[in-house]
Every structure is written in structure tokens, then in C-alpha cells.
Amino acid sequence: MGDGAEGRPTPTTWVEVSRDAMEARVFLAPDIPVPSLEALRSALASQHVVHGVDDVLLLRLSLEGEPGEYIVARGSPPTQPADGRVDYYFRTGTRHLSPNLLADGRVDHHDLGAFELVDEGQILARRTPPVPGEPGMTVTGDPISSRVPRDVPLKGGRGTQSSDDGLLVIAAIKGQPVLHRGVLQVNPNLKIEGDVDYGTGNVTFDGNLEILGEIKRTFVVRATGSVYVHGALDGGVIEAGGSVTVEGGIRSGGHVTSGGAVRARYIEYSKVTCEGHLFVRDDLMFSDVECGGTVEVQGGLVGGLVQADVSVRAEALGSRLGAPTDLSLRPRVKWAARMREAEKEADDLRQKISQIEMGIHEARGRNRADEDGVMTKLTLALDKMRAELAAATARQLAARNRFEMLGHPKVFITNVIHPGVRIFLNEAVAKFEADQLCTQCYEEGGEVRVA
């Protein structure tokens, strides 16, 4: 069999295989007899066509073959594989921040949702393994390989755990999810590279928080752990369950609430409340301070009100101009009041619990189905009240322990007490109307003694 001069098949050339071997064609010339089925199959075999043959078409051509060109065999292309993929269940790309729209139509530029947090046990990512494709075959029986599917690894790092089959990464702790160089992590600490301002909005974090810049005026930072600010607190707010450190100082209008100690370079015209000690490297000026431990100021303590449970230490108190400066060390009064408050709260809760228990007893006595949900509501209210009672009892016990452990508060001064200073030590009061050189003030016989 051969080809004509122009590349078209001669009457004796019945079969042509395409260049990619994915099709085989039969050419029937008008001047030749209709080929038999065996002749057609023999022609296909001569060209090594063994796959994808259309037997029905061959039979039709052998019975009533009209002159023309017919595709009598088709190859099987390979099926495409499914690449592996990883689906992340937190934001991994660029975060487009937008202010929160309030119910009244106003826009809150302090609430931008800039930082995403996850809870322990939360699924962070899911890996779908690749699925290989099926190989194909040409009409001449040669196999066609399918493309090798791409796989995407899923790696969990610090603060995560992987499922047994390796298809899930789950948060092992609460914190901020981070994807760094293909590795998932959950950081218990959040680091903000710059300032807390309109670029970040307010920040709330369940863990420790580090801020490399400043906290600008009117912005709020909340953390269940400690807060470390490399810059200043410039009129903003810090609420921390742990300690607070402000390297740059606390400026006018700042407000700090800490469950631990507070350290600052200086404090001026601000409010600080802490359960632990307060350390100020320079001056503490015209501020409202409530401290559960010792207030230690390496510079001067000028103006405002400072309350402490243990002691106050400073280089100097007040100013030569007689700035009103009050030091109140009355821890017994403070903790006795807290005991009474917790005790009253506990008594009120016990009374409410008793009333709810009576209501539950009456509902059960009616012996009917809880169609209106009364029993369910009463049971939920009872559980809530009992939890609140446990918390109030714990506060009462803590206040009693603190009260019983209190020592005798003192004030230590390395230089001078200026006029305008008042010192309260439990029930004793001392007012200073002239400069007074001293090293310490203490209570004795219901009076403030100066040594």
C-alpha cells in the first residue's frame, strides 16, 4: 500500500493513522468494491490499529460503504489528575481592614478586626491529598501517561497538633494563627511591629502582647496576659490580666488596669490600677494610683492620689509650690470593705438560689410536662446563680486572707517631704505644711510618726 503524489491515499490505501496516533481513518474510494469486514480489519491490523475500534461502524461500512472518509478508531486520552490542596480556616493573605459599622449608622474606626485569634481545638487547615489520573492509550495500543498530580504539604509547628492521618492541623492552644514559610503556628504572644492607632484599631488578645511602638490616644489594648510597650502610652488604655510595662512612659490621659505589676519610665496626669507593685523610673506626677503592693518611685512623687497596700517609696514627696499630694495607705479599711461586699453578694445569691429551688420544687409537684419551658429556665438560672455564688465566695475568702496577712504600711523618703502633702496610714493622718527631711513615716499610737 502507498500514498499518491499529493499525499492523498490511493484506492489501495484504506487506513491512515493520525500523527498523535489518537485517530485512525478509513478512506473508501468510489471506484473500488465495498470492502468486506475482514478486509477492513486486516487493513487496520496492517497499521497496528488495535484500540478504540468502532466495530459497529466497520460492520456498516462492509455492508453499505459509501465512498468517503471515516474515523473508525479513537484513542483514549488520559484522565486529568486532581492536584492536592490545603484549605486554611483563617486569613492568610493581605488583610484589608475596614472600620466597623455600628447599628446607628456611625463608623467605629477603632474596631478594625486587624488581629485574628483562634481557640484551642479549632481546625486551622485541612489537606486534600492528590488523586492520580488514569493513563490513556493510542489507537496503536501505546500507553499515554497521565500528568503527575501536584501535592501540597501541610506542616504544623509550635502551638499546633496534627491529626493521625496528617490531613488536619489543629490549634493546641489559644492564640494568633500564623503561616510562615509553609509552617502553621499558633503564637501565644502577639507582637505588633508599630503603633496601635488607626492602622490597627483597638487590640484584644488572649495571651501576652508586645507593642514595638506607642499606643495612641483613645485606642484600647486588652490582653489576658502581660502587655509590654516599647514606646509610650500616649493617652490610650491598657487592660491586662498580667503585668504591664511601658518603657516610654504613661502620658496625659493614660489609663492602665493590671492584674500584676506595672513598670513605667514616668507617669503623668494618668490613672493606674494594679494588683501588684508599681515601679516608676523617673517621676510620678498628678496621677490617680491604686496599688495592691508597693509604689516605688525613683524620682519625685508630685500631686494626685496614691493608694497602696504595703508601702510607698520615693525620692521626694510633693513640690516646693505646695501641690496637693495625698498618700493613702489604708489596706485594712480597703480589704475589710471588700470582704463585706463579697459577703453581701454571696448572701443575696443564696437568697435567690433558695427562691429558684422552691420554684423548681413547685414545678415538679405539678407533675406535668415542661411544655412552656419553665423547668428548663429555672434549672439554667439555678446553675448560673450557683456559679456566681462560688465566685463570690472565692472573692470573700481571698479578701479575708489578704486582710489577715496585712502588715504595717510605711512611707520611705530619701530626700524631703514638701508642703501640701497628706499621708494617711490606716486611721492616722499627717499634714505637712513645711519641708520635712525624713527617711520614713509609720503609724504608732494612732498617729503618723516621722523618723
Q: What is the pLDDT of residue 431?
A: 94
- Do 172 and 282 fall within a single domain? no
- Residue at 1 is within a domain: no
Query: What dihedral do alpha carbons 184, 185, 191, 197 form, nearest 10°?
Result: 50
Q: Is residue 139 part of a domain?
A: no
Please tell me whether residues 267 and 300 are part of one structural domain.
yes
Looking at the structure, tell me whether residues 175 and 314 fall in a common domain: no
Looking at the structure, tell me whether residues 370 and 232 fall in a common domain.
no
Same-domain check for residues 315 and 421: yes
Does any domain span residue 294? yes
CB 247, CB 265: distance < 8 Å? yes
Residues 360 and 352 sit within 8 Å (Cβ to Cβ): no
Shared domain for 230 and 321, answered yes or no, is: yes
DSSP assignment of 176-240, as one string? EEEEETTEEEEESEEEESS-BSTTT--EEESSEEEESS-B-TT-EEEESS-EEESS-B-S-EEEE
The pLDDT-based confidence of 132 (bands split at 50, 70, 90) is: very high
Look at residues 74, 105, 122 and tell me which one is the last residue of a structural domain.
74
* 400 domain-assigned: yes
Higher pLDDT: 6 or 154? It is: 154
The percentage of residues in the chain with a pLDDT greater than 70, rounded to a whole number, is 90
Residue showing cell 494612732 = 446
CATH value at residue 94: 2.40.50.100
Is 193 within a domain? no
Whether 10 and 4 have beta carbons less than 8 Å apart is answered as yes
Q: Which residue from 204, 211, 270, 201 is spatially nearest to 244, judged by alpha carbons? A: 211
Let me know whether 89 and 172 are in one domain: yes
Closest alpha carbon to 327 in 282, 295, 298: 295
| 6 belongs to a structural domain | no
pLDDT class for 2, splitting at 50, 70, 90? very low
Beta-strand relationship, 168-171 and 123-128: antiparallel
User: Treating both helix axes as pointing N-terminal to C-terminal, what angle do 331-365 and 374-405 enclose, rounded to 10 degrees?
Assistant: 160
Question: Does residue 119 lie in a domain region?
Answer: yes
Domain count, the chain: 4
Are residues 210 and 220 part of one domain? Answer: yes
**What's the rounded Cα separation, in Å, for the pair 369 and 157?**
52
| Per-chain mean pLDDT for the chain | 86
Judged against a pLDDT cut of 80, whether residue 271 lies above it is answered with: yes
Residue holding cell 496621677? 287
pTM of the model: 0.63
Instruction: Verify that 311 and 233 share a domain, yes or no.
Output: yes
In the chain the first and final C-alpha atoms are separated, in Å, by: 127
Q: Are strands 267-268 and 284-291 parallel, antiparallel or unpaired?
A: parallel
- Identify the domain containing residue 70 by its residue range: 15-74
Last residue of a domain, one of 74, 93, 116: 74
Distances 318 to 189, 207, 322, 422 between C-alpha atoms, Å: 40, 38, 7, 9
Question: Which of 27, 52, 74 is the last residue before a domain boundary?
Answer: 74
One-letter amino acid for residue 328 of the chain: S
Question: Could you tell me if residue 100 is inside a domain?
Answer: yes
Highest mean pLDDT among 11-20, 162-171, 280-289: 280-289
238 lies in the same domain as 130: no
Max intra-chain CA distance, the chain: 138
Interval 50-71 mean pLDDT: 90
Name the nearest CA neighbour of 167 among 129, 132, 127, 207: 127
Same structural domain, 316 and 269: yes
Tell whether 206 and 237 lie within a shared domain. Answer: yes
* Residue-wise pLDDT tens digits, 212-264: 999 999 999 999 999 999 999 999 999 999 999 999 999 999 999 999 999 99
pLDDT for position 73 = 96
